[in-house]
Amino acid sequence: MDDPPLASLSLTHVHYNPADRISYLCAWLALVPQALCVVYVTLIWSTREAEVILMFAGQMACEAFNWCLKRYIKEERPRQMNGKGYGMPSSHAQFVTFFSVSLTLFLLIRHQPQASATHTPTTFLQRLLLSVLALISAAAVAQSRIYLNYHTPKQVLVGCTAGGICAVVWFIIVAYLRYSGWVRWGLDTDFARYFRFRDLVLTEDLTDAGWARWEERRRRRDIDGKKRT
């Protein structure tokens, strides 16, 4: 019997012009959504932070919304493109816009880091610069979809608009869940306590990550060592 024809898992399959360095860079930018998913899962597993889990839930809801929009609008990709599926709106543009806008809203509005005895939190200016960097990176990913002829400018613009709207709406929903006590209730459940979910990132600085506790432990260790000598 003849071997069955093989199929390609096109999750990271990107067409680009090997003679064009910008096209090569754009091909790497096309992998940003997959990389962000890895970052999400890694942070959820390592920190168990409620805010990260909620942001990832919003990200997946935004992706589901994009899936529905594509099959409702049914607009084809540019003719030069050999890819499959509908192109309106751009899922890459919508994904990275949701992420960058959500991160910006968190850093500039919801995140209120507090100083400790051993750590000075990031300033508002530093968080603003990080937000601008995230937005610029999202714009680069969105532009790369046009450069590689995966989407038309209109498809990318609609994707960015949809991602931004989803980010703002989800930020408001999470604010309501926090204000009404649903987040606190969820964290008090046996399920959340078993998996050690927490909600510290609102006031704990992003770069601290337990540094104050480590410094205190190190200080006590040095004191105990001097007593023994």
Confidence of residue 1 (pLDDT cuts 50, 70, 90): low
Position 6 in a domain: no
Lowest pLDDT segment from 75-89, 91-105, 139-153, 158-172: 75-89
What pLDDT was estimated at residue 23?
86
Whether pLDDT at 141 is above 60: yes
Q: pTM (2 decimals)?
A: 0.83
pLDDT for the residue numbered 103: 94
Share of the chain above pLDDT 90, in %: 43
In a domain, 228, yes or no: no
Confirm whether 134 is domain-assigned. yes
Q: Mean pLDDT check: name the lowest of 44-48, 161-165, 207-211.
A: 207-211
Residue 87 lies in a domain: yes
pLDDT at 65 over 90: yes
Average pLDDT, the chain: 85
- Domain of residue 38 covers 17-223
Q: What is the mean pLDDT of residues 203-209?
A: 71
Spatial distance between the Cα atoms of 140 and 164, rounded to a whole number of angstroms: 15
Q: Would residue 71 count as lying in a domain? A: yes
Say whether pLDDT at 87 is over 80: no
Question: Exposure string (b/e) for 50-78, b if CB count within 10 Å is 16 or more?
Answer: bbbbbbbebbeebbebbeebbeeeebebe
For the chain, the domain total comes to 1
- Whether 8 is in a domain gets the answer no
Q: Is residue 11 part of a domain?
A: no
In a domain, 2, yes or no: no
pLDDT in tens, 17-64: 788 888 888 888 889 999 999 999 999 998 888 999 999 999 999 999
